[in-house]
């Protein structure tokens, strides 16, 4: 039964990896964003572990202080009982002293181990933070290159593509601009025609008048 479930799990896992691979090929930026989100989640887990270890270290430190104080207290009381030849009190105080001393020893060792683990987690957390920052920057660079590539591809497709539709659109646009230009030129010529004739007529009258004056 376990083998069946294992095969099913492996089959599902393989299908998921194939799906992610196809998705990555189709849209690498989206796949990268997904990986970044997962990495951020892992980073948060390490951060929570760090916070938990800091709390444990404080608790171990507090327990160590209490146990050490109690061990010192019981040792002093045992010395007093011994000086007074109170064997029963002495034995009780020494038993308590040994228990507190062992507890203090355990708490000290636990605190040292926790401190070492904190240092390791902090190193790992810093490494993850730097790697994530680098991945974010690389994603920005990749997005920039992808945008340039897509823009160039679109421009080349429109300007140099073999598609008849693209050519027809540009041909229609050029024809449309030519028609507008002809209409504007015609309207401009028509609007200035009367003024040009009037200017010519005035020049002719002026020249005729000048010629008459010269003949007198």
The 3-state DSSP class for residue 126 equals: helix
Confidence at residue 189, expressed as pLDDT on a 0 to 100 scale: 75
- Angle of helix 2-26 relative to helix 28-83, nearest 10 degrees? 130
DSSP string, 32-72: HHHHHHHHHHHHHHHHHHHHHHHHHHHHHHHHHHHHHHHHH
pLDDT above 70: percentage of residues in the chain: 79
Q: What is the mean pLDDT of the chain?
A: 79
pLDDT tens for 61-117 read 999 999 999 999 999 999 999 999 999 999 999 999 999 999 999 999 999 999 999
pLDDT tens for 14-66 read 544 454 455 555 677 777 788 788 888 888 888 888 999 999 999 999 999 99
- pLDDT category at 216 given cuts 50, 70, 90 is low
- pLDDT category at 5 given cuts 50, 70, 90 is very low
11 vs 68, residue with greater confidence: 68
- pLDDT category at 159 given cuts 50, 70, 90 is low
pLDDT at 170 > cutoff 90:
no
Confidence at residue 141, expressed as pLDDT on a 0 to 100 scale: 82
Which segment of 43-57, 127-141, 168-182 scores lowest on mean pLDDT? 168-182
Confidence at residue 102, expressed as pLDDT on a 0 to 100 scale: 97
Confidence at residue 4, expressed as pLDDT on a 0 to 100 scale: 41
The C-alpha atoms of residue 78 and residue 162 are separated, in whole angstroms, by 101
**Burial of 9 (C-beta count, 10 Å sphere; 0-12/13-18/19+):** exposed
Query: Terminal CA-to-CA distance of the chain, rounded, Å?
Result: 133
User: What pTM did the predictor assign?
Assistant: 0.53
């Amino acid at each position: 039964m376990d083998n069946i479930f294992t095969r099913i799990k492996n089959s599902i896992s393989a299908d998921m990896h194939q799906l992610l691979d196809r998705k990555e090929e189709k849209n690498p930026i989206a796949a990268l964003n997904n990986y970044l989100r997962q990495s951020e989640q892992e980073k948060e887990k390490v951060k929570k572990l760090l916070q938990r270890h800091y709390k444990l270290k404080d608790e171990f430190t507090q327990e160590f202080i209490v146990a050490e104080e109690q061990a010192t207290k019981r040792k002093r009381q045992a010395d007093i009982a011994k000086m007074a030849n109170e064997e029963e009190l002495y034995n009780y105080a020494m038993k308590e002293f040994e228990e507190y001393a062992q507890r203090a020893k355990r708490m000290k060792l636990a605190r040292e181990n926790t401190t070492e683990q904190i240092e390791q987690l902090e190193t790992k957390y810093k490494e993850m933070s730097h790697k994530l920052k680098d991945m974010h920057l690389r994603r920005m660079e990749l997005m920039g290159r992808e945008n340039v590539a897509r823009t160039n591809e679109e421009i080349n497709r429109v300007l140099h593509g073999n598609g008849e539709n693209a050519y027809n659109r540009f041909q229609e646009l050029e024809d449309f601009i030519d028609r507008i230009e002809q209409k504007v030129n015609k309207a401009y010529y028509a609007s200035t025609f009367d003024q040009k004739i009037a200017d010519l007529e005035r020049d002719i009258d002026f020249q005729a008048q000048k010629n008459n004056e010269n003949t007198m």
